[in-house]
Structure 1
Amino acid sequence: MNWTVKKFEELSISELYELIRLRIEVFVVEQDCPYQELDTKDQEAFHLLGRINGELVAYSRLFQKGKVATAASIGRVIVKESGRGKGYGQALLTKSIDFLETELHEKGILIHAQQYLQEFYESFGFKPISDIYLLDGINHLDMRRESYK
């Protein structure tokens, strides 16, 4: 897997189109969840893109502390359907955490997790910090990871 992290203004038009297409493909179409995908937060984010043979198969949106929450955060965590079950999700989350903790020196990371992925995030040290709530028709919970690096 080839990984790159880019700020919004570093993305090419093709890269931006590709990542938005993947987000809509998964979050809107696949999960049958109409919601406002373009939320004006992309401009504040770092964008982690994972490619295999040039194809975008994994993506997440990363925020420094204070940009969208009181702690750093990870959002729009996606693995393309054809890439699931191959360890790409684990690699994506590992890269996301590593970038925030190593490159940006963040200590706490928040995530608004879909409930069915709770155990997955717990395996990376995230702990629930909220009750389950409905967001865009899908059960979510807030989770936080603390780093002691």
Structure 2
Amino acid sequence: MRWQLASFDELSSRELYAALKLRQEVFGVEQTSLYVDPDGLDLEAIHFACWEDQLLLGYQRCLPPGLQEKESTLGRIVVAPAARGRDLGRELVRRGIAHNLQRWPHSDIRIHAQAHLEKFYKELGFSTDGGIYDLDGVPHLEMVLSNPNSSAD
């Protein structure tokens, strides 16, 4: 497996295509959620991917504080159906957390988690922040991982 961190401009057209395809396959088709996936945030994101040869196994985007939320965020976290059951999702999120804490050391991390994954994210250190809400037809929760180095408001 090969792990990749890249800005939007550093992604090849094939890498970008693979990420958008995987996101559409899982979030749009598998989960039957209708929404506009290219939301403008990809342009400022750090794209975090896991590859096996030319096959994209997992993907997430890391956003700086102030772009989507006041905190840094992890989003579009997805594992290819063929790669599930290998604990790749957990490793992907752990690496995303480490990246965000290193890159934005004074920021907490906020995610918009699918509600059925609350326990998974709690095991990785996130706390639920608010109740369940509908996002594009899928129940979600906001969750926050507190950074001990973040300044108190």
TM-score normalised to the size of structure 1? 0.96
Give the superposition deviation at 1:126.
0.4
* Secondary structure of the corresponding residue to residue 131 of structure 2: coil
- Counterpart residue number, 1:119: 119
Distance 1:2 1:135, change over 3 A: same
- Counterpart residue number, 1:147: 147
Percent of aligned pairs with the same amino acid: 36
**Which segment is superposed worse, 30-39 or 73-82?**
30-39
* Contact map agreement 2:127 2:143 (CA 8 A) in 1: yes
* Secondary structure of the corresponding residue to residue 37 of structure 2: coil
- Counterpart residue number, 1:48: 48
Q: Kindly provide the CA deviation profile for residues 7-56 of structure 1, in whole angstroms up to 9, marking residues without a partner as x.
A: 00111111111100000000001111111111111001000010123311
* Contact map agreement 1:65 1:106 (CA 8 A) in 2: no
**Which segment is superposed worse, 9-18 or 102-111?**
102-111
Structure 1 segments, 4+ long, off by >6 Å, are: none
* Secondary structure of the corresponding residue to residue 47 of structure 2: strand
- Counterpart residue number, 1:78: 78
- CA distance in 1 between counterparts of 2:71 and 2:112 reads 12
* Secondary structure of the corresponding residue to residue 98 of structure 1: helix
Residues 3-42 of structure 1: matches in 2 within 5 Å? 3-42=3-42
For structure 1, the residue ranges without an aligned partner over 5 or more in a row are none
TM-score normalised to the size of structure 2? 0.93
RMSD: 1.1
For structure 2, the residue ranges without an aligned partner over 5 or more in a row are none
Q: In structure 2, what residue type is equivalent to 1:74?
A: L
* Contact map agreement 2:65 2:107 (CA 8 A) in 1: no
- CA distance in 2 between counterparts of 1:145 and 1:50 reads 23
Corresponding pairs, count? 149
